[in-house]
Structure 1
Amino acid sequence: MQSANWQALLKLDAKISVAPMMDWTDRHDRFFLRLISARARLYTEMVTTGAVIHGDREHLLGFDAAEHPIAVQLGGSEPEALAEAARIAEDFGYDEINLNVGCPSDRVQSGAFGACLMREPALVAECVAAMRKAVAVPVTVKCRIGVDDQDPDIALPELATRVADAGCETLIVHARKAWLEGLSPKENRDVPPLEYERAYALKQAMPDTEIIINGGILTLDEAEAHLAHVDGVMLGRAAYQTPYVLAEVDRRFYGATTPVPSRHEILERFLPYVEEQLARGVHLHAMSRHILGLFQGMPGARAYRRHISENAPRKDAGADVIRDAMAFVPREVELA
């Protein structure tokens, strides 16, 4: 399905989305998550402009048509390079181009992009304007509320205003600071306190800008509470580590009337994809690692995870590893 068919749905689909997560939200994970929710918006891992322009584009940007609506997240700080990368991504069929202004990893710091750009709102606006000029699909920004000793009362509204003036209609706010000095990337995901009220205030101050909140949101009840204040909620680790949290998204937030798939049904739909990818030379572990949390909290879940973890890394591992693992959680247990 081409991206043009999804443009009318993008605003609706922004209610619930799954965050771009390095080493996690690759194409196999996204296909799997799409089997759980047909409507949540999915994001790629961050890809840098240099990789997109000079690297293996099919490997970096390729995706299955079933993944729509899907957004690509770009990392970079040079307007011309971002514009070129955005054009390439649009040609691949992506429904949205997202600019990373929030990642605090050493990699992005050395490249002077990601969260570093919170200090350069004028440059971010220039980047957005260049991408908006280059593509027809929406250009969005994902940011923090500030970095290091910045005052979020100043840094966040200034960035938001500048990118909105440049043509960005959607801002995704990870509602905590990034500390580039003194905290590791892992610590930056947990240690700085969450300040959701700053995203709420931003929405009140900028009613015409779509504001999506991100950070520490674990349940759909929490998501619904946030939606009283902002336009959308982005789930991160909860959607990866306990993916079945997405199962009620379509009915609860989009009015879908289709039955909620069981965990076994989801895996049965995933298996043909697994077999197709195995035939193309993809290793089972590259796909099976994303499904470990599906039965989280259920009797037999530990044995299910152990079977996959111990057997999927084998060179000759096939789809039967998943089938055999499913037997550790009987259907009647799930339906009870």
Structure 2
Amino acid sequence: MNSAEFGRRVLEWFDAHGRKQLPWQEDPTPYRVWVSEIMLQQTQVATVIPYYQRFMARFPDIRTLAAAEPDEVLRFWAGLGYYARARHLHQTARILCDRHDGELPLDSATLQELPGIGRSTAGAILALAAGQRQAILDGNVKRLLARFAAIEGWPSQSRVLATLWDLAERHTPTERVADYTQAMMDLGATVCTPRQPRCETCPLAEACAARQQGRVAELPASRPRRDLPVRTTRMLLLRTMDGEVLLERRPPAGIWGGLWSFPECTLESDIVDWCRDRLGLTVIVERPWTVVRHSFSHFHLDITPTPAQVTGQGGLVMEGERFVWYNTRHPDGRGVATPVRRLLAALASELRNDGNQRWLEW
């Protein structure tokens, strides 16, 4: 099947079956498309839609996003995960206001110089919002093309990736580029799925090499397996008699960067000494809660939540904007990571139940 026929079939399928009512399709400005593409990285459409709608209602344009405080941006992102995406959005918005008059440049090379925008994201912005002939290669399109051409190897390997980019460039048409780009995303997400693909409904089925060879289930090759390391930490649930709990803003870089979390120490630390020396707090340590595992793409984190009653405090935790006493009875919606949000909910539940220990079920 040549590229012209490939494109024709994809567009015919899109006209009949493609998604045309997604929120970012209603007014596909470069800004709206950019935000949607960042949110959709490693996240499914159904999950993204309510986050996108809330985010756009609060930050309707680049200048509004740039003027916001980082903590507010993270608050509207909390729960989507991969928080570097939110930090990059905010950072890029400020760069755009400083250097590009508050507009996204409609040039692939310039876009790729901005934080969080790679080749495929730049291509999607320009194709969907500006109608430029730009190829994309997100995870769904990688899978579709790897099967169509029976490309061996894991798609993120440099050799395989180069081959897939060549195919993506070759098959991208010159007409109706926005529709074609959305169609390829939709085909990968709804038809050429990772498991149990619906080959009988695919417009490319008769020319798909993987189908002809009976290898749909094995292509593309999976990422080479490796056992994820396990890290441990102790989260200190430091509470006052009034029910307030101490939260600490995490550093900008690293996991949950910029979000609010509980102070952390190692499992071996003497908690009383640690709180006195690091925080200036006198505490009575209570029984630890059940260990909670939170998994990232590259490691597991085993969290030991440990409550402690604050009986006296100095001035260390009041220095600067690093710490805050958080009222669990009246949540303020600040940006917190998923396990922290669940722990805060458990603390609030414990207070409602007259201090009876609530064991977490995750």
Q: What's the TM-score once normalised by structure 2's chain length?
A: 0.29
> TM-score, normalization: structure 1?
0.30
Q: Please identify the structure whose Cα radius of gyration is greater.
A: 2
